[in-house]
Amino acid sequence: MAKNTITPNQKTPKENNQSLNAMNFVNETKEELAKVVWPSRQQLFSESAAVILMVILVATIISLVDKLFAWGAGKVF
């Protein structure tokens, strides 16, 4: 039997490496998620409300500027 022959039950070095990489990834992900400081429910709602209000404000400003330019273009052309 040759040295490089692999029986059906054995994994190639590449397959072993890939499974180790996958397990490594899962373990490192769990470790990183344990370090995360998750916001409280109150923080989550207040910061979400702030983001939604800012989006509404910016959308309103963009809309008003667009209408101003459309009005100005209508007067010129």
Q: Place 52 in a pLDDT band, splitting at 50, 70 and 90.
A: very high
Q: Across residues 22-51, what is the average pLDDT? A: 95
Q: Is the pTM of this model over 0.85?
A: no
Whole-number pLDDT of residue 11: 59
Whole-number pLDDT of residue 47: 97
Q: Are 12 and 6 in contact (CB under 8 A)?
A: yes
Whole-number pLDDT of residue 21: 86
Percent of the chain whose predicted confidence (pLDDT) is above 90: 68
Long-range contacts of residues 54-60, Cβ cutoff 8 Å, at least 24 apart = none
Q: Is the pLDDT of residue 5 over 70?
A: no
Instruction: Provide the 8-state DSSP code for 7.
Output: -
